[in-house]
Amino acid sequence: MRLLAEGLSARRGEDLIFNDISFALSAGEALVVTGPNGSGKSTLLRVLAGLLIAESGSLKLENGPPEMRHPSEISHYLGHRNAMKRELTVAENLSFWKDFMGDSQGGAGKGLAEAVEAVGLPGIAHLPFGYLSAGQQRRMAMAKLLVAYRPIWILDEPTAALDAGADKLFAGLVNAHLDRGGIVVAATHQPLGLERTRELRMTGFAGVGGGMWHDA
Amino acid sequence: MIALFFRDLKLSIRAGGGAMIGVLFFMTVVAVIPFGVGPDLNLLARIGPAILWIGALLASLLGLDRLFQAEREDGSLDLMLMQETPLLVTVFVKCAAHWAATGLPLVIAAPLLGLFMNMDELAIGATMLTLLVGTPAITLIGAVGAAVAVSLPRGGLLVSILVLPLAIPVLIFGVSAVYAAIEDPAPFLPPLMILMAITLFFAVIGPVAAAAALRHASD
């Protein structure tokens, strides 16, 4: 499986946010998108997740499932918002997403208890999501990545609101996903402690190329 | 998809979900009418079906704006847009859950309120039947308005205004079917069939239009 982006550019309203971004990611590789605030990291991730239509360029998946229309169908997207309901318990939230999303072919999601264990918060799945602290909420949102299998993970500032221990735990989860042949695209300000990463540095739109990328 | 239906049902029953808001509003509106109109039992019986229908229409519009907005605010809508499952199926299931949580209680509360309006059994039965057939159409039309106004923070009134003109035929045929049932010469079946047709029509058009609006609203 190979994720190919060629000459992507995106616009919000009148302004071009970034221009001519290209990269290629094979199974087991991670792309870390860095750059100052407003340089278009989140916009790029939303384009990759199919939530924003690219102004130009193409996004392709080689050797993906044949009936797939857009790579977003086999992607997880963890945005700034956790996509969990405050009124429902953590277990209800996770089991809903597990049922609703289902597994992409080639893998199986973890069980609820196992996923909650993996993010280091066993024993609080019966609480309403709204009762948890910001960091706990973020961790439970990560558990969502585990309950339904998706080969591609698109993560927008995944470690915001997390303590140092949770950072390490999260790096472990992402590395395990990469070991299984997954692809990860993450926007971040902090180093994530990942192996095998490539870096895409967004420089903000300055008229010429919107970003450059190199192996870290 | 069944998971989505029960999740939405659960959410509407939990704190702040608003399942009871609609039916309470319906009861308030209809309960004050006899005090305003006065103790003329014949008059109440005559305007009863229309009052019940107007109350049900306004009550159905009440919670519609939150249908997709709540999903958007916590990021769930993004994930729903990404799935392989066609968005219009997701929208349809959400409408079904919304109707079960807010529309069905109105149908169930109607007989009690019919007594307030001095309606006889036949009129109450006909009103319940037409509400059962007609209120899903209001939810399905409303889904389009809710999808269009999804990104507006105070879209509630806008949704009602967008939706109301399209919901007027539902009201007209709903009320005329009830009057046809209680007044002899007019036939009951044709307006009821038209009401069913409106519901089925919007069951097809509504989710398609709402899904298209949601796709364009995402940024």
B177-216 pLDDT, tens digit per residue, is 999 998 878 888 999 999 999 999 999 999 999 999 999 8
Q: Which residues of A touch B3 (CB under 8 A)?
A: 95-96, 99-100
Q: Residues, chain A, total?
A: 216
Q: Which residues of B touch A95 (CB under 8 A)?
A: 3
Digit-by-digit pLDDT tens for chain A (216 residues) are 889 999 999 888 788 888 888 999 999 999 999 888 888 888 999 999 999 888 889 898 888 888 888 889 999 999 999 999 999 999 999 999 999 998 888 888 889 999 999 998 888 999 999 999 998 999 999 999 999 999 999 999 888 778 888 888 888 999 999 998 899 999 987 777 777 788 888 876 554 344 455 544
Tell whether A160 lies on the interface with B, counting CB pairs under 8 A.
no
Averaged over B118-139, what is the pLDDT?
95
Range of the domain at A135: 2-203
Tell whether B72 lies on the interface with A, counting CB pairs under 8 A.
no
pLDDT recorded at residue A213? 54
Closest CA of chain A from B122, distance in Å: 42
Q: Are the beta carbons of A73 and B84 separated by less than 8 Å?
A: yes
Instruction: Estimate to the nearest angstrom the gap between the alpha carbon of B50 and the chain centroid.
Output: 15
Q: Are the beta carbons of B76 and A83 separated by less than 8 Å?
A: yes
Nearest CA in chain B to A49: B82
Alpha helices in chain A (DSSP H): 41-48, 90-101, 112-118, 134-147, 164-179
Q: Which residues of A touch B79 (CB under 8 A)?
A: 77, 83, 97, 101
Number of domains in chain A: 1
Task: Tell me how far apart the alpha carbons of residues A98 and B46 are, in angstroms, rounded to a whole number.
Answer: 52
Nearest to A177 by CA among A73, A107, A123: A107
Q: Are A79 and B75 within 8 A, CB to CB?
A: yes
Tell whether B73 lies on the interface with A, counting CB pairs under 8 A.
yes
Radius of gyration over alpha carbons of chain A, in Å?
17
Position A63, amino acid: N
Closest CA of chain A from B10, distance in Å: 8
Task: Tell me how far apart the alpha carbons of residues B219 and A43 are, in angstroms, rounded to a whole number.
Answer: 9
pLDDT recorded at residue A35? 86
Q: Are the beta carbons of B10 and A88 separated by less than 8 Å?
A: yes
Task: Tell me how far apart the alpha carbons of residues B210 and A120 are, in angstroms, rounded to a whole number.
Answer: 39
Stretch (H or E) spanning A76:
strand A75-78
Q: Is residue A208 part of a domain?
A: no
Position B199, amino acid: T
Question: Angle B66-73/B121-148 helices, nearest 10 degrees?
Answer: 40
Task: Tell me how far apart the alpha carbons of residues B177 and B195 are, in angstroms, rounded to a whole number.
Answer: 9
The CATH number for A12's domain is 3.40.50.300
Tell whether A97 lies on the interface with B, counting CB pairs under 8 A.
yes
The pTM score is 0.91
Q: Which residues pair with A55 in a beta bridge?
A: none
Tell whether B81 lies on the interface with A, counting CB pairs under 8 A.
yes
Position A62, amino acid: E
Q: Is residue A191 part of a domain?
A: yes
Tell me which residue in A51, A68, A80 faces B218 most closely, judged by beta carbons: A51
Task: Tell me how far apart the alpha carbons of residues B88 and B44 are, in angstroms, rounded to a whole number.
Answer: 42
Q: Is residue A120 part of a domain?
A: yes
Q: Is residue A90 part of a domain?
A: yes
Which of A48, A74, A86, A96 is the best mutation test for B, with the most CBs of B within 10 A? A96
Q: Is residue A54 part of a domain?
A: yes
Q: Which residues of A touch B11 (CB under 8 A)?
A: 85, 87-88
Tell whether B84 lies on the interface with A, counting CB pairs under 8 A.
yes
Q: Is residue A210 part of a domain?
A: no
Q: Is residue A23 part of a domain?
A: yes
More confident position, B44 or A1: B44
Q: Between the CA of residue A205 and those of A16, A18, A127, B196, what are the distances in Å?
A: 7, 5, 44, 55
Q: Is residue A211 part of a domain?
A: no
Task: Tell me how far apart the alpha carbons of residues B76 and A87 are, in angstroms, rounded to a whole number.
Answer: 14
